[in-house]
């Protein structure tokens, strides 16, 4: 990552980009084509959520986009539950509400804005999802405050599931994994597409290693933290509130 943290995309920049990309992210199969194993990661976190949280009454989807992960969770659970949807993009929230309303007859609430600035009831969620969103966090303080807040929102026994892009602690391993990702993108769309994706990641994202995030989850109180899948720079993992 070449762009310094203080020169990364602003919240408004990120909001505008996703406002203009709603339809692409409304497809369960191709909405995340630039993400390696996105359908598999989505399947694993939703199956894990249902396995370890057998009673789901309310779910929070942070950075919900067009609602793909909540839809997948509803279908896996096969019963309705209340859904709270949070996103920077109003257009994404509108689309996710529209699509999720077809999947459940329970309450759907939308929250427009940054998770740091929004108020939610503590100890009230059975499952929290964060798919391709935490990489927008910047400083160590941002990361820890976010994980602490998420932990506080879960009821005891509730679970938190993440799919995201990551870096690696070892520089040589990091180079290896990003080179593998570059090869994947070139095969998918050519060299220009690969450069386009890498450019917006460099400008917009600030991912951290899986190990960093797992250590942070344990620090704020999560138990039984497990990695479900990792391929190159992408990972699916989660944990349970003790």
What is the tens place of the pLDDT at every residue in 98-133? 999 999 999 999 999 998 889 999 999 999 999 999
Cβ-contact 182, 197 below 8 angstroms: no
Q: What domains can be seen in the chain, in order of their start residue? A: 11-168+208-241 (3.40.50.150)
Q: pTM of whole model > 0.85?
A: yes
pLDDT band at 68 (very low <50, low <70, confident <90, very high): very high
Give the pLDDT of residue 171: 97
Q: Which residues contact 101 (CB under 8 A, 6 or more apart)?
A: 108
Print the SS3 string covering 18-73.
HHCCCCHHHCCCCCCCCCCCHHHHHHHHHHHHHHHCCCCCEEEEECCCCCHHHHHH
Give the pLDDT of residue 30: 46
Cβ-contact 131, 38 below 8 angstroms: no
For residue 204, pLDDT beyond 70: yes
Selection from 132, 138, 90 nearest residue 116 by Cα: 138
User: What are φ and ψ of residue 206, in 5° steps?
Assistant: -145, 65
What is the tens place of the pLDDT at every residue in 181-201? 999 999 999 999 999 999 989
């Amino acid at each position: 990552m070449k762009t310094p943290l203080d020169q990364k995309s602003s919240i408004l920049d990120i909001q505008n980009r996703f406002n203009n990309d709603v339809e692409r992210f409304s497809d369960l199969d191709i909405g995340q084509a630039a993400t390696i194993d996105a359908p598999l990661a989505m399947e694993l976190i939703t199956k894990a959520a249902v396995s370890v949280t057998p009673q789901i009454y309310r779910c929070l989807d942070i950075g919900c986009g067009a609602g793909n992960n909540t839809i997948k969770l509803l279908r896996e659970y096969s019963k309705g539950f209340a859904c709270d949807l949070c996103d920077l993009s109003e257009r994404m929230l509108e689309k996710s509400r529209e699509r999720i309303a077809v999947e459940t007859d329970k309450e759907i609430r939308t929250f427009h804005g940054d998770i740091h600035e929004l108020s939610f009831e503590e100890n009230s969620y059975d499952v929290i999802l964060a798919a391709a969103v935490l990489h927008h966090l910047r400083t160590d303080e941002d990361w820890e405050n976010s994980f602490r807040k998420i932990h506080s929102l879960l009821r005891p026994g509730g679970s938190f599931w993440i799919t995201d892009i990551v870096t690696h602690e070892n520089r040589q391993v990091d180079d290896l994994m990003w080179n593998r990702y570059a090869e994947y993108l070139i095969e998918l769309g050519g060299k220009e597409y690969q450069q386009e994706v890498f450019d917006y990641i460099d400008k917009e994202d600030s991912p951290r290693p899986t190990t960093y995030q797992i250590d942070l989850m344990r620090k704020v109180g999560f138990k039984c933290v497990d990695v479900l899948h990792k391929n190159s720079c992408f990972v699916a993992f989660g944990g349970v509130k003790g």
